[in-house]
Amino acid sequence: MANITEHMEHETTTGLDHRKLLIWAFLGSECMFFGSLIATYLVYYGQGLPGTPTPVQVLDIPTTSTSTFVLLMSSFMMVMSYNSISKGNVKNFRIWILCTAILGATFLGFQFYEFKEFATHYGLTPRTNLFGTTFFTTTGFHGAHVTVGVIWLMSLFFYSFKGDLTKDHGLMVDIAALYWHFVDVVWIVIFTMIYLIPVGVSS
Amino acid sequence: MASISNALRRPTSTTGVWGWITTVDHKKIGIMYGISAFSFFLIGGLEAFIIRLQLARPEHALVSPEIYSQLFTMHALTMIFLGVMPLSAAFFNLVIPLMIGARDVAFPRLNALSLWVFILGALMFQSGWVFGGAPNAGWFAYAPLTSSTFSPGHGMDYYVLGLGILGVSSVAAALNFIVTIINMRAPGMTLMKMPVFVWMTLVTSVLLVTAFPVITVGLIELFLDRTFGFHFFNPAAGADPVLWQHLFWVFGHPEVYILILPAMGIVTEVLPTFSKKPLFGYPVIVLSGISIGFMGWAVWSHHMFTVGLGPIANSVFALTTMTIAVPTGVKIFNWIATMWGGNIELKTPMLYSIGFIFLFIIGGLSGVMHAIAPSDAQQQDTYFIVAHVHYVLFGGSMFAIMSGIHYWFPKASGRMLSESIGKVSFWLMFIGMNVTFFPMHFLGMDGMPRRQYTYDSSYGWDFWNLVATIGVFFLAAGIIAFVHNFFRSIRKGEVAGNDPWDARTLEWSMASPPPEYNFAVIPTVSSRDAFWEQKQTGTTIKENEGGTAYGEEGNHGIHMPSPSYWPLVVAIGLTISGNGLMYSFPAAGFGVFLTMVGIYAWSMEPATAPDNH
Amino acid sequence: MASSHEEATHPTPATYAKIAVTLGLITAFEVLILYVDALTSFIIPIFIILSTVKFAMVAMFYMHLKFDNKLFTLFFASGVILATFVIFCLMLLFGAIGNGRYGSPEVATEISHTETHSDKAHDSTDKTVTTDSDYDTDASKTNDVVVASTSIIEIGTNGDQLSFDQTKMSAQAGEQVTVSFVNSAGAQQHNWVLVPAGPARLEIATLGMTAATTGWVPDDHRIIAHTNLINPGETGEVSFQVPSEGSYEFVCTFPGHSFTMFGEFEITQ
């Protein structure tokens, strides 16, 4: 979203830019979206038919904690890319944001691997049982949000060659960064509720 | 990417059909919302009319049971999502920027997107009638009736995808109004100096952005079950169809406050104007509105008292529901106190607002009766509920909307609606409302279930059903009278001038209709009812020296945001995606592609074209 | 009016890096404590606290909430709090906290990648029950009732929820057992019926819907044993000889209950 308007210096009642208010309101809304998906998962936990793959059997904590680490580090890269652009350093910005996108894509790669393992090794698909349905939907929508994020970041990367992202202390990057961190924070919740706790209480 | 917008030149016209299609002006967008929403309201009314004709006599077979199911489902969906909600959006658009001293909303193109997504989504919704079946499982679409096993065909897919798309429109608009109200008020207009209609719009918008995601998730889950065989609501896999009910009503209850709070806001503007008195208890009314917004999250399972949640859950929700009646009641007392001792002018807007109070009290009382869980066990799924729903939604929301239409029509069009036709339409609708819906309390008490295709004479329901159907003719006459009034007045109505009602708020301080830029100079405000203050004390509203709420002044005049067709392109892309998910995945892919093209082009183009004005 | 970035205490890249390291360390710690058996009973509060710390660090520093206008915090915190409230209420309403549901140990044991159990993944809405019960390599690790020498097995309900309080019962092949069913619901009648595992459960339950005069238990030769219809607050018993082999399930055949009120009946040799 590299919209550059000519009227960014207008006064606002709060002194805050409209677009920052918009992204925060939107993130508040997204909390409810993921909250409902997670609620569905938690309500249905353990309710599937016996004899079909269960969380403790299929979840691979070592691999998923690696992908969690990857996503957390991507947030660090993101904040560094915003740091660069807000100081006017476009070259460094490009490096950091490319790294962010690459790490994001790596996270997605891990997710594809995990989904494939579940399907081929354990026969677990969304149609197999309740765990399959709720797990794939929740983590799948999170992955879709990461995908949108990667596309957004790459768009900013390419835009930096033609347009001026340094306006307003890099506001456009700031907004993308907020979205990216949000997606990371949702993953922290998912990793804890869906992976760590069920495995933790059962071990 | 910049070459896309170079190749297709940006529209510049603000007139003609293309001017309306590409507009980003909140006033035009408001008018388009209003006209399309009222048209859908008429369609919903026609559906209701057929329902009542079918029920006029026992053992009647005017339509088939299958069509009947589609009729009552679509009637509710049309009235709620394509009628009341967009009519409220029409008012938000027409009035809010003017009331807060702004020149437009915070994101004009996003505003246009909301409009076009609404119109296209609404058409998609209605197209089920033509393409093999409209949704037919009731407006709250309980699982597992809505599974692909029990609802084969595409009817319920129209429900899922249509409602999902409409959700995008509503959430985008709500986000826009939250930012507009918080960030674009005229200098000096603190939150506690804003008109109550602005407050109610803010609370409604917060409810919209928090509640819609919940039903979006429910719809996604239902869609995945139906289309891909997932198991979210499949009992055979261990799932619980009651989860759908919870997800639906966690959205659904805030939704009814979304339907009524703007209406209450409208009434709160009309009453002081026609009582020639300031609003009684402004802070209390604002606080009541906010608390209704909060408390609305704690009552949803009162729609589920008969599902078997158990006595503890039922008691908790009964208590929270009874509690939420309190702030509502407080508002009613404040409105009455506003009128008390005032110099009442019974013009048409005032008649509708007073009618609102009367009818909403009746609807609210039956609502409190439902709140008592054991009572509700008798009333649930009977015509008693139908009576309640219509008293609060028709007698409540629609009467307030009619009040708002008559009140702000002069501002939007520059002409007055006819008072005499207005009074006739009010009385016909008021009588019709009561003749149609009051007997439904009796029918409900007598055990007549809702969504009932026909009934046997031995139940003793014949008489009141016939009375209710007769009432519909009064309603129809009143609505036809209003439509006639509307078309007649657009062309031949008396010229309105700036302030035909001697009103209190900022929108009455400029020409009717307002110029494109609304305010030549953004006012500085120092009290509530700033415009009234100015009139009474003879002071002018202090002109905001040098600063503006939006845009620049200077040699080139006021720069307003330029028209754009990208919002329409994105809306078309979304609609194609929605239809594609039903019929053709490649088409859905194309829809997504088109949406992305639209979004990229939109983000490349500046809000105001450099060579504009 | 001031524009957004006026803070004097703007974090430096070094701060950001320190936070990144901390986030990584906390995550590593979370994984490590999975292997500490002594902490298993505290693991839920530990994980919730740790993830809240990570969440807060990203929100306050990376998303800059600590340094920005409090309005942003209001928007975001409102969303988080409301979402948490909805999740919590739904879990309460479904009885999904503890008790064999979320937060309780799972019946299966350690992740075993060599199990090739399943390539019986069925899709579609057909039931997918496989009848092997050798997922469970160590029955004593479950929280189910294990047969004691007195041969009385107790089973109850989850309060008013339409579910038994255990999803698995076990008994010795060939033994004479008494199943004692405590109906702790406030207003529901229930029964306990032992049937072969698989499609039979729902078939028998469907037949039971017309068996109002026999406590909703149909006359079906597949039924191994059953209690009478038990009123709320009462207990009912049935004594029978456990079959020597095969896969079985127990279910309540009160109309509508069988979809959620059932479990596995394991026969141990």
Residue ranges covered by each domain of chain B: 1-24+562-570+586-613, 25-551
Q: How far is CA B238 from CA B243, C181, C188, C261, C266, in A?
A: 12, 22, 20, 9, 19
Binary contact (C78, B210; C-beta < 8 A): yes
Residues of C in Cβ contact (< 8 Å) with B182: 71
Domains contained in chain A, CATH given: 18-44+66-202 (1.20.120.80)
Handedness of CA B14, B20, B24, B25 (dihedral sign): positive
Position A127 scores a pLDDT of 94
Residue pair B472/B457 in contact (Cβ under 8 Å)? The answer is no
Binary contact (B224, A126; C-beta < 8 A): yes
Of A88 and C126, the structure prediction assigns the larger pLDDT to A88
Residue pair B247/B225 in contact (Cβ under 8 Å)? The answer is no
Task: Tell whether C6 is within 8 A of chain A (Cβ).
Answer: no
Binary contact (B209, A1; C-beta < 8 A): no
How far apart CA B188 and CA A181 sit, in angstroms, is 36
Of B107, B218, B238, the CB nearest to A49: B238
Position B8 scores a pLDDT of 61
Task: Tell whether A161 is within 8 A of chain C (Cβ).
Answer: no
Shortest CA distance from B176: residue in chain A: A22
Residue of C5, C62, C136, C249 for testing the chain A interface, max A β-carbons within 10 Å? C62
Binary contact (B311, C160; C-beta < 8 A): yes
DSSP string, B296-355: GGG-GGGG-TTS---HHHHHHHHHHHHHHHHHHHHHHHHHHHHHTTS-----HHHHHHHH
Domain B25-551 has CATH 3.20.20.70: no
Stretch B312-321: mean pLDDT, rounded?
A: 96
Binary contact (B230, A40; C-beta < 8 A): no
Residues of C in Cβ contact (< 8 Å) with B309: 93
Residue B377: count other Cβ atoms within 10 Å of its Cβ.
11
Position C144 scores a pLDDT of 36
ipTM: 0.94
Quick one: angle between helices B26-55 and B85-100, nearest 10? 150
Q: Which residues contact B606 (CB under 8 A, 6 or more apart)?
A: A3, A4, A5, A6
Position B15 scores a pLDDT of 79
Whether A42 shows a pLDDT value over 80: the answer reads: yes
Stretch B296-305: mean pLDDT, rounded?
A: 97
Task: Tell whether A196 is within 8 A of chain C (Cβ).
Answer: yes
Binary contact (A39, C51; C-beta < 8 A): no
Stretch B160-168: mean pLDDT, rounded?
A: 96
Residues of A in Cβ contact (< 8 Å) with C118: 52-53, 122-124
Query: How do residues B103-116 score in pLDDT, each as one tens digit?
Result: 999 999 999 999 99
Binary contact (C85, B297; C-beta < 8 A): yes
Of A95 and C153, the structure prediction assigns the larger pLDDT to A95
Whether C108 shows a pLDDT value over 80: the answer reads: no
Query: How do residues C7-58 score in pLDDT, each as one tens digit?
Result: 446 889 999 999 999 999 999 999 999 999 888 889 999 999 999 999 999 9
Residue pair C236/C181 in contact (Cβ under 8 Å)? The answer is yes
Residue C213 is encoded by which pair of tokens? 């005069």
Whether C212 shows a pLDDT value over 50: the answer reads: yes
Residues of C in Cβ contact (< 8 Å) with B301: 93
Q: Which residues contact B222 (CB under 8 A, 6 or more apart)?
A: B141, B143, B146, B156, B160, B232, B233, B244
A→B interface, C-beta within 8 Å: 1-7, 10-14, 16, 18, 21-22, 25-26, 28-30, 32-33, 35-37, 40, 43-44, 47-49, 126-127, 129-130, 132-134, 137, 141, 155, 162
Residues of B in Cβ contact (< 8 Å) with C90: 243, 246, 250
Shortest CA distance from A35: residue in chain C: C83
Binary contact (A52, C118; C-beta < 8 A): yes
Size of interface A-B (CB pairs under 8 A): 139
Position C145 scores a pLDDT of 39
**CA of C73 vs chain B CAs: smallest distance (Å):** 15
Return residues 64-123 of C near A (CB < 8 Å): 69, 71-72, 75-76, 78-80, 82-84, 86-87, 90-91, 94, 96, 100-113, 115, 117-123
Task: Tell whether C160 is within 8 A of chain B (Cβ).
Answer: yes
Task: Tell whether A191 is within 8 A of chain C (Cβ).
Answer: yes
The least confident of A14-23, B36-45, B575-584, C185-194 is C185-194
Binary contact (C122, A127; C-beta < 8 A): yes
pLDDT band at residue B611 using 50, 70 and 90 as cut-offs: low
How far apart CA B389 and CA C187 sit, in angstroms, is 30
Position B552 scores a pLDDT of 43
- CATH architecture classification, C139-268: Sandwich (2.60)
Task: Tell whether C80 is within 8 A of chain B (Cβ).
Answer: no
Query: How do residues B514-556 score in pLDDT, each as one tens digit?
Result: 998 999 888 889 899 989 988 888 766 655 443 443 444 443 4
Name the nearest CA neighbour of B396 among B344, B331, B446: B331
Position C113 scores a pLDDT of 35
Question: For the purposes of burial, counting CB atoms within 10 Å of the CB of C71, is it exposed (0-12), middle (13-18) or buried (19 or more)?
Answer: middle
Position B514 scores a pLDDT of 94
Position A161 scores a pLDDT of 95
pLDDT band at residue B458 using 50, 70 and 90 as cut-offs: very high
Position B557 scores a pLDDT of 62
Stretch C94-117: mean pLDDT, rounded?
A: 65
Whether A1 shows a pLDDT value over 80: the answer reads: no
Shortest CA distance from A37: residue in chain B: B217
How far apart CA B376 and CA A122 sit, in angstroms, is 48
pLDDT band at residue A10 using 50, 70 and 90 as cut-offs: low
Binary contact (A72, C110; C-beta < 8 A): no
pLDDT band at residue B14 using 50, 70 and 90 as cut-offs: confident
Whether C143 shows a pLDDT value over 80: the answer reads: no
Task: Tell whether A127 is within 8 A of chain C (Cβ).
Answer: yes
Binary contact (C93, B214; C-beta < 8 A): no
Query: How do residues B568-591 score in pLDDT, each as one tens digit?
Result: 999 999 999 999 999 999 999 999
Residue of B309, B315, B548 for testing the chain C interface, max C β-carbons within 10 Å? B309
Whether A21 shows a pLDDT value over 60: the answer reads: yes
Whether C118 shows a pLDDT value over 50: the answer reads: no
Of C82, C123, C161, the CB nearest to B229: C123
